[in-house]
Structure 1
Amino acid sequence: MTDKIPVWDGFVRLFHWSLVALIAGGWLTADGPKIWHEWLGHATAALIAARVVWGLVGPRHARFTDFVRGPRVVRAYLRDLWHGRERRSLGHNPAGGAMIVALLLAVAGTILTGWLQTTDAFWGSSAMETVHGAFAGLILLLAALHVAGVLVESLRHRENLVLSMLTGTKRALSDKDRP
């Protein structure tokens, strides 16, 4: 039997699955009813704001300092992954950290451009609507890449990462996982 240890706290797991539900709801209500679409956007904005705060003050694996790495580290990780020699991470690996940042920015861009369309300056602006749609499409692309990355890592390290985002636990690091 493998030792499981807590990694993802309750807020991180609630945030993750709530964001999935809110984005799905946003897509389903994109063509109406607009009031629902707007309220889902407001809820998503509140969720993102809470996650940013949690990324600064939350437990170890929730903190941005635990998983946000520079471009060199991310490229080195992806190169190691390509060659089948990447190290297993207890929290997010460098590519996963970069994906979180990209998704947070894409969601924030979608929220901002959606809100801007409710202001006097951009009410009825087809250009802002186009930008909003582009950000929303970017979320889908990034989400697909995220899911692909989760599947690859789950298979490569023989660990169900979807299940770990439900239970909050992962297999402890072994000596072979450590640098």
Structure 2
Amino acid sequence: MIGTPATAGTSAADRPRQKVRVWDFAVRGFHWLLVVAFVLNAFVTDAESALHHWIGYFVVALVGLRLVWGLVGTRFARFASFPPSVSGAMQQLREIAGGDTRPHAGHTPLGALMIYNLLATMLLIGLSGWMMTTNAYWGVDWVEALHEALVTWAEICVALHIGAVIWESRRTGVNLPRAMVTGVKDMPVDTAEGRAG
């Protein structure tokens, strides 16, 4: 490690730093391809167009690949490194309320819950969209309503995710958007190894 552990009371931004490789190319590629595909289908393409359908299938394929990578990928890509945990999320909230600004090397417990939520939501959007193209469910109102509700839910969650990333970046002094581009987090040396999840 570089430098010495920060003393108590030192702000996150003022602590000695260490670069930690966190997000591999597959995780970053998945993230940004999903961003582009979701924006295109939610706000740009005609919902009745073949392009909309193909982008939807692409999103489902992306999520499928991410699920596989979550089992066999690199350390921070694996689901084992960020299991869904309500108790972990509650503990994180208590830490935040107590003024703890130490960042997590990988996903935070709250971030993990959002990731699982978004992965499931994207799959359900894809499933309901596909159902709308079948003879059995074409023109069925509840399927269309479900599809639209899921898209709205995803939009709300994406907005919350963006807000949380900006807030967490400011709170911890770690630029999370940059890390999702470069794969590297600039972490305080006293937390780079100790808070993996």
Q: Same-fold call, TM > 0.5?
A: yes
1:175 CA drift (Å): 2.3
Q: Which residue of 1 aligns with 2:162?
A: 147
Matches within 5 A, 1:15-34: 15-29=30-44, 31-32=46-47, 34=49
Alignment-mate amino acid for residue 154 of structure 2: I
1:172 CA drift (Å): 3.9
1:8 CA drift (Å): 0.3
1:119 equivalent among 120, 134, 137: 134
Whole-angstrom CA distance in 1 between matches of 2:153 and 2:47: 21
Q: Percent identity?
A: 37
The list of structure 1 runs, each at least 4 consecutive aligned residues, that deviate by more than 6 angstroms after superposition, is none
Aligned residue pairs, count:
179
Point out where structure 2 has 5 or more consecutive residues left out of the alignment: 1-15
1:86 CA drift (Å): 5.4
Contact 2:41 2:52 in 1 (8 A): yes
1:80 CA drift (Å): 1.9
More helix by share: 1
1:30 CA drift (Å): 5.3
1:96 CA drift (Å): 0.6
Alignment-mate amino acid for residue 38 of structure 2: I
Q: Which residue of 2 aligns with 1:59?
A: 74
Contact 2:103 2:187 in 1 (8 A): no
Q: Which residue of 2 aligns with 1:107?
A: 122
TM-score of the two chains, using structure 2 as the length reference: 0.85
Point out where structure 1 has 5 or more consecutive residues left out of the alignment: none
1:78 CA drift (Å): 1.9
Of 30-39 and 71-80, deviating more is 30-39
Alignment RMSD: 1.8
Whole-angstrom CA distance in 1 between matches of 2:31 and 2:176: 13
Higher relative contact order (CA 8 A, sep 6+): 2
Whole-angstrom CA distance in 1 between matches of 2:59 and 2:165: 23
Contact 1:68 1:97 in 2 (8 A): yes
Contact 1:13 1:166 in 2 (8 A): yes
Of 33-42 and 55-64, deviating more is 33-42
Secondary structure in 2 aligned to 1:31? coil
